[in-house]
Structure 1
Amino acid sequence: FSDTLGRGLALLEQEIHAVRKSGQTTLAGDAAFRLYDTYGFPLDLTEDFLSSEGLTLDRAGFDHAMEEQRTRAREGQKGTVYISAGLTDLRSRFAGDRIVEWESEVLAVLVNGEPRANAVRAGEEVEIVTAETPFYGESGGQVGDTGRIETSRGDVVEVLDTVKPQPFLVVHRGRVQQGAIQAGDRVRLVINAERREAIRLNHSATHVLHSALRELLGPHVRQAGSLVTPDRLRFDFTHTSPVKDDVLERIEDVVNAHIRENAEVTSQEMSMNDALKSGALAFFGEKYGERVRVLKMGGFSTELCGGTHVARTGDIGLFKLKAEAGVASGVRRVEATTGDGALGWVRQHEKTLKEVGAILKGTDEDAVEKLEKLLAERRDLEKQLAQLQNKLAGSQSDELMSRVRNVNGVNVVASRVEGVEDKALREMADKLRDKLQPAVVVLGAVQGDRALLLVGVSKEITKTHHAGNIIKQIAPIVGGGGGGRPDFAQAGGKDVARLDEALQKVYELVEKSS
């Protein structure tokens, strides 16, 4: 317990220092949970120490972290299949992140989670455990390697994914492409080096990004999750508000400046206590043993990490932020890409901008100016069109007044209107209804390949002539449906040829309801 207390206190002091430096008075719940979950440091002790320092604990954040851990634990149960398969005594040693090929012995072959004593042949899906492997098993947010496993006989297994279901176990998942594979075979393991390199760049970039976020947003920033693939990186971090565009630009600038420094990236194994004393950052959600790997980049980043990384930050080449958004209360997410992926992203956007410029009969440099001018012209034309439609609606309103029929004391107009948009059509119906009280006004129009029907009814007669009921009876004629209030309703349909038939039906309905 004294060892637990010592490790926990060292990390808690580090957290308290970060809280004070940021000017806050509350310790993040995920930090307290990491103390509890990773180091077995009691929550009540954390609260007592915080209280003695005049600080408080984000208990809601702690509870949220606890629930996330339970979810991960449920996912982790997937690894028990390898234990139940009798693989508890097996050990797979990772050959190292600079190794792309390695020779080793097959310790176990599984099909559908069950050990296979005899050979697994071409076409079968298989899981393979070897004594040593250059393949990195998915962990710490970094996806697993792909590649192939082959024998001197010419047997080939395509490795589609690599997982690490237990700290001591690396499992290669794939399909036998050629020949057969079985336990005891000597094999050559070859990773997809180009894919590994892309992953390496993105993973190292997450460390540089984390440093930049803490530098520009404050020491309260902590990693809350990550995903590292060949194409992109995703980094979740603790922060309470959206990051403004100008700050995102500065973050991107700082990351690229560190890349241009071409700082050396080194790693060293040491005890957990020594790692924490060195100032290394440990992450929520990660399980650490007594010995940990400390990754250092120049003088700006020191973190615990077991993933694959570049030799120097300059190898990353280019870093490009793509998006920033919130994913949970107090947690933000950025997505980015590096190297050839970043260059491809920039080129694609340049291509799009040039295409926009060409469409606007200009260049990519004046595309924004031309687009703004075009939109201004469009707004002017829309105003002119609205004015013309109002005039047209006015002239048609006068004509419709002459078509009014008195049906049992109700003034009824049911007619087609040409060249008028929705808004103007509704205004026309409202004006006619108000002028002709008590009135039932039904206007129809063809817009594109659809028929539009609007019904307006004077409020004093809605008990006997409900606009919604009228529309429900005439809309099916044009192959549509609709509804609305007692005094106003509308509908659309696809059978424009029967629009006049629907309008004529109105007079019959009013007569029956009167």
Structure 2
Amino acid sequence: METAEIVRRFLTYFENNGHTVVPSASLVAEDPTLLLVNAGMVPFKPYFTGQRTAPYDRAVSVQKCVRTIDIDEVGKTSRHASFFQMLGNFSFGDYFKERAIPFAWDLMTRPRDEGGFGLPVDRLWVTVYLDDDEAETIWRERAGVPAERIQRMGMEENYWSMGVPGPCGPCSEIFWDRGPEFGAEGGPLADEDRYVELWNLVFMQYERGPGETKTDYEILGELPKKNIDTGLGLERLAAILQGVDNIYETDTLGRVLHRAAELTGIRYGDAERSDVSLRVVADHMRTATMLVSDGVRPGNEKRGYVLRRILRRSVRNLRLLAGATEDQTYLHELTATTIDALGDIYPELRDNADEIHNVIDTEEKNFAETLRSGTALFTRAAEKTKTAGSTVFSGADAFQLHDTFGFPIDLTLEMASEEGLSVDEGTFQELMREQREAAKRDAKAKKFGGADIGVYTRLLEGAGATDFLGYTDHESESRVLGLIVDGEPVAAARAGDKVEVVLDRTPFYAESGGQLADKGTLTSEGRGVVDVDDVQKPVSGLFVHRGTVRAGELALDDTVHAGIDSDRRSSVSRSHSATHLIHSALRNALGPSTGQAGSENQPGRLRFDFTTNEPVGTSRLAEVEEEVNTVLSGDIQVHDFVTSLDEALSMGALAMFGEKYGDRVRVVEMSDYSRELCGGTHVGATGQLGVVKLLGESSIGSGVRRVEAAVGLDAFRRLSTESMLVSQLSEQLKAPREELPQRIDALVTRVRDAEKEVERLRAAQVLQAAGELAGNARRCGAALLVTHQAPEGTTGDDLRRLALDVRGRLGEDQPVVVAVTAVPKDRPVVVAAVNEAGQRLGLKAGDLVGEAARTLGGGGGGKPDVAQGGGTDASAVDSALRAVERRVSETG
């Protein structure tokens, strides 16, 4: 069943069941928080959140989606793809589980001649959320799914939310059993490779509160209207209905892949390295074509960078495949193939074909120059690295490639890997940071927030420095000294204006020292309200409040009530105090050379960067965490005072990296445990932090590492979630908590050892037949011929080894042809091997495989000495071998 037909059936089925067919939205998301549309429900998000009223109660769509998080994995597996399509049916307060579940099951299992997909029910499994008894009952009683093929999964797998406060609810998923050759029996809980998720049904019935992770939020109650959101992966379903192993062999992606193979003279399936490149090209050309059609243009930022990156990866992989010269081009042909493959589903591709070709052709031409110059530099640098006996490509050279020739780091990483080299990413990132900081300094010297820096300087000169009250006060009565709109001073700002406000005094903390700025409101009685979402100091001493006039107007010399969000400030202050404690604990653990290299303190969470030459290690990190929480339990008072810089340093106060201090400095101390120069806000005593949970530690550059932590309620939620997960593992493995690491390690080791042993035994069993096969070689025409059908499940690699082994045993004295077949994964494979004498006779392995593969309903080929092919008709294996025999018998 072709992909276009799958789409037609899906839309027709739900249209016949009262759903409005909604065309796919553009990949350029309306949601400003999203770079690109990455899920089928994104266009309907305003209806689910209540921001808008849906114009229909039921909808059905086929939505274009792009996800860039896995872009580096594309091609390495047959599953990852950057562009995909989601079939989905949606209900906005209309039907719920009682209809959604039967709809899905009916469409999946209804016979094809009745408009369904006709999937056999004994190959389908279902999962529900842990306590969703209602869904399980509907699956059993309304859909007729046997209880033994319904499994329960936890919050990570079967509970959905948008990642922010709003709708949430349990999920139910339909899985396809690929068969015993793909893994263990036992359903999705047993083997995720064998059982592939097809359709996810989301039951939005609750409202969630805030939380940092997928599982650490509170359920606030039921929604007034329950909604349905489903997502069925079109590519995965197409692979099943078309009887192929993976999405790259389906009718749409497969056409692009095989066209790329034709253009480069490479046969898909001959070698893993070239197969990876062909998959990269097929996926990326599809993604690029769809992005350009939706208005995205190549650039160096955001969506434009995504498009540029995937086009350049395509060009590079095509040139690697073909050994191309810099004048050769391929993308025009591949774009045309992509448009043709997807045009039935998205007619706008044909309408926009000229523009799509123009954009992609131009980018390929421009990248040719980058490759020409950059590749030469890379080659010289790689040779220098190898000559020096090193395996690490210089970070400075990687930076020069990026800065001078526009080489993205991922391209340098790929090229280095092909040469057997790694890249000093730490130094590269350090140089990139230095460049960004220089750019920031330059931008700050010229402009700030859209206004010339002189605007702020003149305000400071005329009004004086802002009096900061925030250490003691969360609100104040202040006078408006300056208003800036669109970079220009104004006398008044009105409702809807984005405005910058300068006050004579303020309780708002301006972002600095790693601490985020306060948020809050400025209220002018009887005149206007400004929502403040950021505070900065473009010039020293001047606090600039950035926000939007919510109502009324604000004018110069107005008196305003300035009030911060006190709960947010308290949460940020807890994070900042925790940062000081972690700094001291790390110095105690790693030595006094450990220094702060950056930080960010936000509500409930923090990150702390520090200098060290080696990883901290799990056990030492645990010691640091325990030390910090011991200090918390002591409820040490936090004091701050102002003194001279010399006096502070003589007391042992730590000064932060790169900071410039005046003669008078502020010191924050927690007894003798921590004493630092700091301008931030803090708690009154360490006990107010509650608990600090270190979330992990990693390298972010040469000699610089980072720890991240949750503080207070966020830390408690994290610990609660981890405790629940450990309890679940303990119950499933029937082992005490303290024995879980050893038990899991033993299980993993046993599985790996078993897999290796099975592979060894299977390969040995196949090769054992080599001697007997060579002894049974028979005369066919002018050559010795061996044909053999290997046991079911024999892989293509094992077949190749068997053919070469038999050929080697028969020597070079006379022409020899070996043809062997097997049926791995329900699809027949044939391998042919011909010795040099046979090749001189005119027998070519590629020709013989092509003859056999056509009999199998497929194709294949390769070099004259050995070749491989396959097809779809496993019943024709004997006929394929006879076809080889006929061809050999015709030789003189």
**Larger relative contact order (Cα-Cα within 8 Å, sequence gap ≥ 6):** 1
User: Is structure 2 residue 509 aligned with structure 1 residue 127?
Assistant: no
Q: Give the percent of matched residue pairs that are identical in Structure 1 and Structure 2.
A: 37
Tell me: CA distance 1:422–1:341, structure 2 relative to 1, closer, same or farther (3 Å): farther
The superposition leaves residues 102-138 of structure 1 with CA deviations (integer Å, 9 ceiling, x where unpaired) of 232233333332333333213x433322222222111
User: Is structure 2 residue 448 aligned with structure 1 residue 79?
Assistant: yes
| Greater alpha carbon shift after TM alignment, 163-172 vs 408-417 | 408-417
Structure of higher CA gyration radius:
1
The Cα of 1:195 is off from its aligned counterpart by 2.0
Kept in 2: contact 1:444–1:499 (CA 8 A):
no
Kept in 1: contact 2:530–2:551 (CA 8 A):
yes
Match of 2:448, SS?
helix
User: Is structure 2 residue 592 aligned with structure 1 residue 223?
Assistant: no
Match of 1:292, SS?
strand
Kept in 2: contact 1:203–1:228 (CA 8 A):
yes
- Matched to 2:493, the amino acid is A
The Cα of 1:498 is off from its aligned counterpart by 8.5
- Report what 1:3 is aligned to: none
How high is the TM-score relative to the length of structure 2? 0.44
- Report what 1:6 is aligned to: none
- Report what 1:106 is aligned to: 480
How high is the TM-score relative to the length of structure 1? 0.72
| Among 116, 121, 135, the residue aligned to 2:490 | 116
Kept in 2: contact 1:392–1:420 (CA 8 A):
no
Stretches of structure 1 lacking an aligned partner (at least 5 in a row): 1-59
Cα distance between partner residues in 2 of 1:158 and 1:470 = 75
- Report what 1:332 is aligned to: 705
- Report what 1:55 is aligned to: none
Cα distance between partner residues in 2 of 1:512 and 1:165 = 86
Cα distance between partner residues in 1 of 2:485 and 2:855 = 62
- Report what 2:511 is aligned to: 138
Kept in 2: contact 1:240–1:331 (CA 8 A):
yes
| Among 210, 234, 238, the residue aligned to 2:607 | 234
| Among 379, 401, 409, the residue aligned to 2:783 | 409
| Greater alpha carbon shift after TM alignment, 238-247 vs 107-116 | 107-116
Match of 2:526, SS?
coil
- Report what 2:792 is aligned to: 418
Match of 1:343, SS?
helix
Kept in 1: contact 2:774–2:809 (CA 8 A):
no
Tell me: CA distance 1:283–1:409, structure 2 relative to 1, closer, same or farther (3 Å): same
Kept in 1: contact 2:792–2:824 (CA 8 A):
no
| Greater alpha carbon shift after TM alignment, 389-398 vs 199-208 | 389-398
User: Is structure 2 residue 458 aligned with structure 1 residue 88?
Assistant: yes
- Matched to 1:83, the amino acid is I
Cα distance between partner residues in 2 of 1:364 and 1:513 = 71
Q: How many residues align?
A: 450
- Report what 1:37 is aligned to: none
- Matched to 1:290, the amino acid is D
- Matched to 2:583, the amino acid is H
The superposition leaves residues 28-84 of structure 1 with CA deviations (integer Å, 9 ceiling, x where unpaired) of xxxxxxxxxxxxxxxxxxxxxxxxxxxxxxxx9xx9798786355235345383523
Tell me: CA distance 1:220–1:512, structure 2 relative to 1, closer, same or farther (3 Å): farther
- Matched to 2:677, the amino acid is L
The superposition leaves residues 420-440 of structure 1 with CA deviations (integer Å, 9 ceiling, x where unpaired) of 245644543443333355555
Cα distance between partner residues in 1 of 2:820 and 2:521 = 70
Cα distance between partner residues in 2 of 1:184 and 1:86 = 17
Cα distance between partner residues in 2 of 1:298 and 1:148 = 35
Tell me: CA distance 1:349–1:98, structure 2 relative to 1, closer, same or farther (3 Å): farther
Tell me: CA distance 1:369–1:299, structure 2 relative to 1, closer, same or farther (3 Å): closer
Cα distance between partner residues in 1 of 2:648 and 2:740 = 53
The superposition leaves residues 197-231 of structure 1 with CA deviations (integer Å, 9 ceiling, x where unpaired) of 22111111111122122222111111121122224
Tell me: CA distance 1:110–1:402, structure 2 relative to 1, closer, same or farther (3 Å): farther
Kept in 2: contact 1:400–1:413 (CA 8 A):
no
- Report what 1:252 is aligned to: 625
Kept in 2: contact 1:82–1:88 (CA 8 A):
no
Cα distance between partner residues in 2 of 1:112 and 1:243 = 47
- Matched to 1:89, the amino acid is L
The superposition leaves residues 273-299 of structure 1 with CA deviations (integer Å, 9 ceiling, x where unpaired) of 332233221111222223211111101
Q: CA RMSD, aligned part only? A: 4.3
| Greater alpha carbon shift after TM alignment, 446-455 vs 285-294 | 446-455
The Cα of 1:139 is off from its aligned counterpart by 0.9
Cα distance between partner residues in 1 of 2:785 and 2:797 = 23
Kept in 2: contact 1:446–1:496 (CA 8 A):
no
Tell me: CA distance 1:279–1:105, structure 2 relative to 1, closer, same or farther (3 Å): same
The Cα of 1:314 is off from its aligned counterpart by 1.7
Match of 2:609, SS?
strand
- Report what 2:587 is aligned to: 214
User: Is structure 2 residue 872 aligned with structure 1 residue 496?
Assistant: yes
Kept in 2: contact 1:417–1:443 (CA 8 A):
no
The Cα of 1:382 is off from its aligned counterpart by 3.3
Query: What is the correspondence of 1:48-63 to structure 2 with a 5 Å cutoff?
Result: none
Cα distance between partner residues in 1 of 2:856 and 2:526 = 73
Kept in 2: contact 1:404–1:411 (CA 8 A):
yes
- Report what 1:269 is aligned to: 642
The Cα of 1:312 is off from its aligned counterpart by 1.2
Match of 2:537, SS?
strand
User: Is structure 2 residue 434 aligned with structure 1 residue 434?
Assistant: no
Cα distance between partner residues in 2 of 1:163 and 1:467 = 72
Kept in 1: contact 2:785–2:817 (CA 8 A):
yes
Match of 1:177, SS?
strand
Kept in 1: contact 2:604–2:713 (CA 8 A):
no
Tell me: CA distance 1:76–1:413, structure 2 relative to 1, closer, same or farther (3 Å): farther
| Greater alpha carbon shift after TM alignment, 339-348 vs 85-94 | 85-94
- Matched to 1:79, the amino acid is F
Kept in 2: contact 1:236–1:333 (CA 8 A):
yes
- Matched to 1:253, the amino acid is E
The superposition leaves residues 470-511 of structure 1 with CA deviations (integer Å, 9 ceiling, x where unpaired) of 8899999999999988866667x8x63499699678779989
| Among 172, 179, 203, the residue aligned to 2:552 | 179
Cα distance between partner residues in 2 of 1:289 and 1:297 = 23
Stretches of structure 2 lacking an aligned partner (at least 5 in a row): 1-426
Query: What is the correspondence of 1:286-435 to structure 2 with a 5 Å cutoff?
Result: 286-360=659-733, 364=737, 366-375=739-748, 377-379=750-752, 381-382=754-755, 385-386=758-759, 389-390=762-763, 393=766, 406=780, 409=783, 411=785, 413=787, 418-421=792-795, 424-435=798-809
| Among 189, 205, 211, the residue aligned to 2:562 | 189
Cα distance between partner residues in 2 of 1:477 and 1:175 = 71
